Amino acid sequence: MPQRVVYLYVLDTLADWEPGYALAELNSGRFFRKGAPRLAVKTFALGKDPVTTMGGLRVCPDLSLEEVQVRDGALMVLPGGDTWLEPRHAPVLDKAREFLAAGVPVAAICGATLALAQAGLLDDRPHTSNDLGFLKSLCPAYKGERFYRAQPAVCGGDVISASGAAPLEFATQIIKRLGVFSEEALAAWHDLHKSNDPKHFFELMQAVAPE
């Protein structure tokens, strides 16, 4: 059976740190529970031209948007960036709608939540962002205020959203939604990175030890 794909949208000014925790674990599979399917991470962009991240990294997309196949998708990740409210990203949001219609989750953080809000994709499900006022002031089409949660990261069905200051919580919600870690491993993994307490490393090693 072919690997399912975690599709990462790459765009100029991409906030490098925001998807990092999630991508490292989903691509490596190093702490996956027994029997969890392996995943492949692939980058995509509007075309095949290289993009430059906020940290100055030059990324050559694996795929163009037209090559992204919903049937192969395990997840679409939309990282933050400074240009999300520009009309050129509209085709990506259309693709996100296709993913959601097929029951494939979409995860957005920081600036990407603006785009989802403006596109109406946060109007009827629990979600978060950098701040409610942030969404309301920049997204006049947004009508999801009653579903806003003042939390670092939220899983609202098939949409995972997070503040740009919460990449760890973003990753935790993604991993939980995909079900690739055991509950014990996910708790230990999160607590290790959150607290830097070595005891959680040993809890994680115990949780992933072969039976």
Tens of pLDDT, residue by residue over 46-105, are: 999 999 999 999 999 999 999 999 999 999 999 999 999 999 999 999 999 999 999 999
> What's the confidence (pLDDT) of residue 146?
97
> What's the confidence (pLDDT) of residue 210?
85
- The domain spans of the chain are 4-180, 182-211
Percent helix, strand and coil across the chain, each rounded to 5? 40, 20, 40
> What's the confidence (pLDDT) of residue 27?
97
> What's the confidence (pLDDT) of residue 177?
98
Q: Are 20 and 167 in contact (CB under 8 A)?
A: yes
Two structure tokens written together for 32: 């996956």
pTM (two decimals): 0.96
| pLDDT at 1 exceeding the cut of 60 | no
Two structure tokens written together for 140: 């006049």
| pLDDT at 208 exceeding the cut of 70 | yes
> What 8-state DSSP symbol labels residue 77?
E
Q: Which fold has domain 4-180?
A: Rossmann fold (3.40.50)
Positions marked active-site: 110
Average per-residue pLDDT for the chain:
96
Tens of pLDDT, residue by residue over 174-197, are: 999 999 999 999 999 999 999 999
Cα–Cα distance measured from residue 58 to residue 51, given in angstroms and rounded to the nearest whole number:
6
